[in-house]
Amino acid sequence: MRQIRRIQKCPPKLWNFYETAILGLTRTNNGLEGWHNILQEQVGGHQVTI
């Protein structure tokens, strides 16, 4: 079966974490996820309309 290369939808600069790792920067949004979890606990559920 012949392999056909497809055109990328997003440039590697958007999804590649090589430079981020070299610079020692964070790769995730754990701070935001923690804030969201606390908010969900205080509001009392998931997907609550504010």
3-state secondary structure the chain: CCCCCCCCCCCHHHHCCHHHHHHCCCCCCHHHHHHHHHHHHHHCCCCCCC
5 pLDDT more than 80: yes
pLDDT band for position 49 (cuts 50, 70, 90): low
CA 30 to chain centre: 9
Q: Which pairs with CB-CB distance under 8 Å and at least 24 residues apart come from 4-11? A: none
* pTM for this prediction: 0.39
What's the CA gap between 37 and 42, in Å, rounded? 9
**pLDDT tens-digit series, residues 24-43:** 877 777 888 888 888 888 88
